[in-house]
Amino acid sequence: SASHLPRGQLELRVNDDFPDPTLRIVVCCEFGKISTLATATLRDLGFLRATALDGGMKHWREAGLPLEN
């Protein structure tokens, strides 16, 4: 399932929204830059399985992969 957690609220909400630090979390943004920073923060907070979507949503769309609104 997907959850929207803005980068500016990450440190404040992550433990409430994701109480299990062993979860696999894929972080994405439009171009893959902010998500890379957010992933580093998550790993610093103990979410060692967090990873960023390489190239962001732009790359995902360009690859023709499925999207939901």
Per-residue confidence (pLDDT) for residue 40, from 0 to 100: 97
CA distance 17 to 55: 25
Confidence at 69, pLDDT banded by 50, 70, 90? confident
pLDDT for 53: 96
Q: Is the pLDDT of residue 1 over 90?
A: no
Q: DSSP character for 23?
A: S
Average pLDDT of every residue of the chain: 94
* pLDDT given for residue 64 in this prediction: 95
Instruction: Using pLDDT thresholds of 50, 70 and 90, give the confidence band for residue 68.
Output: confident
Asked whether 35 and 52 are in contact (CB, 8 A), the reply is yes
Pairing of strands 50-52, 25-27: parallel
